[in-house]
Amino acid sequence: MYKIRRGFVMGIIGLLIIFTLAGCSSTGKAVNSNSQGDVSQKTEDKPQVNPGGGDAPNAQTGKNVDQNALKQWEGVKGRIITDHYPAEITKYLEENKTKETQRAFNINNKTYLVMTMGQQPSAGYQIELKNLALKDGTLRVSVKYEKPLKNDIVATVITYPSLIIETDDIYEGHYEIKYDIEK
């Protein structure tokens, strides 16, 4: 009886180890997160970044599309970036992660629009880009602060949501930048 019970327990432990190792095996795809606690954008009308770089298959056509291509907004070309920030932006994010901020950087002939939501008590917070519009000398950045719904199950972990937009042909100082934030 003791040997049967011991064999049964050892079998269960063996299965648990196998399932655990199978669940931890690498598929070669990176998880889209960084030290600032960014949350990926989820809607189809926003530029998506392939964490592995390069082209990714389009879910509807199956053909590869360039995930790093600029999106045309209202008079502005830009893309949301989620990793590989210039050093100045990485430093800024680290120094200001607990604060709500909006700032523009001109680095290597590109303007980066950086927004931080400050320290948040759980996962599920993100900054959603609604629109970029250049009209009459004003670059208007429209975003919405998303937060988890009351009944959402989210990880209890401190996060620092941020949104970094790389623009093309927009230079800090040449345009007034206004941030419209829906909270």
Closest CA to 141 of 126, 127, 124: 127
How far is it, in rounded angstroms, from Cα 55 to Cα 35? 24
Q: Tokens 């970029």 map to which residue? A: 132
**pLDDT tens-digit series, residues 12-24:** 787 667 766 665 5
What percentage of residues in the chain have a pLDDT greater than 70? 66
Bridge partner residues of 51 (DSSP): none
How far is it, in rounded angstroms, from Cα 25 to Cα 73? 40
**pLDDT tens-digit series, residues 35-86:** 344 433 333 333 333 333 333 443 333 443 455 678 998 988 999 999 999 9
**Average pLDDT in the chain:** 76
User: Residues 29, 115, 45, CA angle at the centre, nearest 5°?
Assistant: 55
Give the pLDDT score at 20: 67
Mean pLDDT of all residues in 140-166:
95
Q: How many other CB atoms sit within 10 Å of the CB of residue 148?
A: 16
Give the pLDDT score at 70: 83
Mean pLDDT of all residues in 151-176:
88
What percentage of residues in the chain have a pLDDT greater than 90? 48
How far is it, in rounded angstroms, from Cα 10 to Cα 7? 5
61, 117, 178 from 138: Cα distances, Å: 37, 23, 7
